[in-house]
């Protein structure tokens, strides 16, 4: 059972996913989100392949979300369906998580690690997660005091976020 705080967080999460504000999460929202992220973080000529990766990852995320949450089969995910499914199927399914969220973050990280040393600085970390709509409080809670972030740290923060840990 979810408590009130968890429900409030999920409502915020739902709005982040519902990019066009239609009141439902649909495939078009995933497309909009991928476009937005690519524009903010991978908006360079040389990033075309990584942009394709991000879009592919969001397509996978949609398929997984739809399969896990669209219980009435109308190809839309209502707030109720979302609340019901979140934290259940999607996050326990390591393979699906890898193919969607981790794949997308890996592509973004690859594009943002401009000097290719396998790490990004704090400003870049914040840019990445601000693009996803994280608040300053969430960033602080999930980044800790570090100022260098390797790919594993990026995945770590996202996992904690999705699991609802350290998530004000």
Q: Measured from the CB atom, is 10 or 120 closer to Ca ion?
A: 10
CB of 20 to Ca ion, least distance (A): 5
Q: Measured from the CB atom, is 62 or 109 closer to Ca ion?
A: 62
Structure tokens at 22: 């239609």
CB of 49 to Ca ion, least distance (A): 28
Q: Measured from the CB atom, is 19 or 112 closer to Ca ion?
A: 19
Q: Are 103 and 53 in contact (CB under 8 A)?
A: yes
Residues in touch with Ca ion (CB under 5 A): 18, 20, 22, 24, 29, 70, 72, 74, 76
Q: Measured from the CB atom, is 44 or 74 closer to Ca ion?
A: 74
Q: Measured from the CB atom, is 36 or 76 closer to Ca ion?
A: 76
Residue nearest to Ca ion (CB): 22
- Distance (Å) of CA 132 to CA 2, 22, 67: 24, 19, 23
CB of 81 to Ca ion, least distance (A): 5
CB of 19 to Ca ion, least distance (A): 6
Classify strands 148-150 and 119-121 as parallel, antiparallel or unpaired. antiparallel
CB of 27 to Ca ion, least distance (A): 9
């Amino acid at each position: 059972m979810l408590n009130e705080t968890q429900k409030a967080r999920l409502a915020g999460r739902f709005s982040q996913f519902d990019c066009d504000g239609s009141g439902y999460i649909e495939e078009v929202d995933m497309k909009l989100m991928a476009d937005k992220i690519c524009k903010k973080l991978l908006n360079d000529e040389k990033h075309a392949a990584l942009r394709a990766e991000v879009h592919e990852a969001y397509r996978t995320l949609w398929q997984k979300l739809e399969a896990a949450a669209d219980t009435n089969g109308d190809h839309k995910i209502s707030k109720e369906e979302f609340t019901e499914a979140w934290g259940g199927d999607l996050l326990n399914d390591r393979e699906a998580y890898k193919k969607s969220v981790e794949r997308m973050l890996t592509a973004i990280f690859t594009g943002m690690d401009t000097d290719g040393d396998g790490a990004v600085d704090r400003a870049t970390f914040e840019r990445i997660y601000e693009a996803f709509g994280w608040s300053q409080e969430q960033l602080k809670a999930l980044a800790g005091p570090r100022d260098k972030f390797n790919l594993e740290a990026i995945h770590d923060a996202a996992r904690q976020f999705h699991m609802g840990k350290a998530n004000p």
